[in-house]
Amino acid sequence: MTVSAPSSDWKRPVMPAIKRGLMCKCPSCGGASAFNGYLEIKQTCESCNEELGNHQADDFPPYITIFIVGHIVVAAMMIVERSIDLSTSVHLTMWIPLTIILSLALLRPIKGAVVGMQWALRMHGFGSGDEFVKADNEDRLY
């Protein structure tokens, strides 16, 4: 089995890239915003010229957002229901806006984190395809 020589930037640390993505910054340099609008990722980073437009985050960020928001809202709803007797209309006026606000607040940072993870792991358009190097997970995580 032949393994081509790794490029100089092969090791991309995963956790810093995810943290930069959570801050909605470029996963490579963390200098410029990775977003054009609310959810549109820029084609290239303004600071480091890294190609970002090849990401394929697709439906993964909404799934993670639904998972997190569902756990927060359902847990809070159960705690309130157990401690205070409220009417259904009060529950609706509390939990529906909270669910919408949390979903909108979390979706963009989560998409940035997914793009950062894809960039660090050279997934879905971020790798050249001809490079294959088996790296230790410890080296790639931090």
When comparing pLDDT for 97 and 128, which is higher?
Answer: 97
User: Can you state the angle between helices 88-120 and 60-83, rounded to 10 degrees?
Assistant: 150
Alpha carbon 126 to its chain centroid, in Å, reads 15
Digit-coded pLDDT (tens) for 23-78 = 999 998 888 899 999 989 999 989 888 888 888 888 999 999 999 999 999 999 99
- Domain borders along the chain are 14-134
For residue 44, give the DSSP letter. B
C-beta of residue 127 within 8 angstroms of C-beta of residue 6: no
Q: Which two tokens stand for residue 27?
A: 């996963």
pLDDT score recorded for residue 133? 44
Q: Is the pLDDT of residue 84 over 80?
A: yes
Highest mean pLDDT among 8-22, 46-60, 103-117: 103-117
C-beta of residue 54 within 8 angstroms of C-beta of residue 63: no
The pTM for the full model equals 0.78
How far apart are alpha carbons 10 and 54 in whole angstroms? 18
